[in-house]
Amino acid sequence: MHRTGPRTGTSDAALDGMKGEKLLDAILELSPTIRYAALHLGGGEPLLRERQGSPGASAESERWDELVVNPVLVELASRRGDVDCGGLDYLVVRYRRFFNFVLPLDGGHLSVVLDPEADPLPMISPIREIAQKFGAAFRRHPTI
């Protein structure tokens, strides 16, 4: 089952609508260990794609992760990274039941949730390449 939320007010027109959905579908095709992928841009509702039959949290829980948790994590880690670390490239959060890879984008983020047995590090480059192919604008680092 694929879940899709409406998106409004996005700051990245390149990933609106069908293009964003195709991006998430392409990410899901990378590996059977990917449970779901989400795109949140511009403060609207996140766009979510879930692998059919994948165990995981409820749709409401996933929605709140994309609306609140991941944006706050990106903001906090970005602020620290911008001080003297050269910026933030990505986050990998290991919860007990899954990994969450979060890629900061201009105006939002891309989130990819993987099974707990997966190794998320080899997935980073392919996910970034797919995001770039679909026109995602990666968050710019400040000039130090």
Place of tokens 């990933």: 15
In this structure, which amino acid lies at residue 57?
A
- The rounded distance, in Å, linking the Cα atoms of 51 and 26 is 12
pLDDT in tens, 71-129: 999 999 999 999 999 999 999 999 999 999 999 999 899 999 999 999 999 999 999 99
Is CATH 3.30.450.30 correct for 13-133?
yes
pLDDT in tens, 8-41: 333 445 676 789 999 999 999 999 999 999 999 9
Per-residue b/e over 123-144, b at no fewer than 16 CB within 10 Å?
Answer: beeebbebbeebebbebeeeee
pLDDT in tens, 55-75: 666 777 788 889 899 999 999
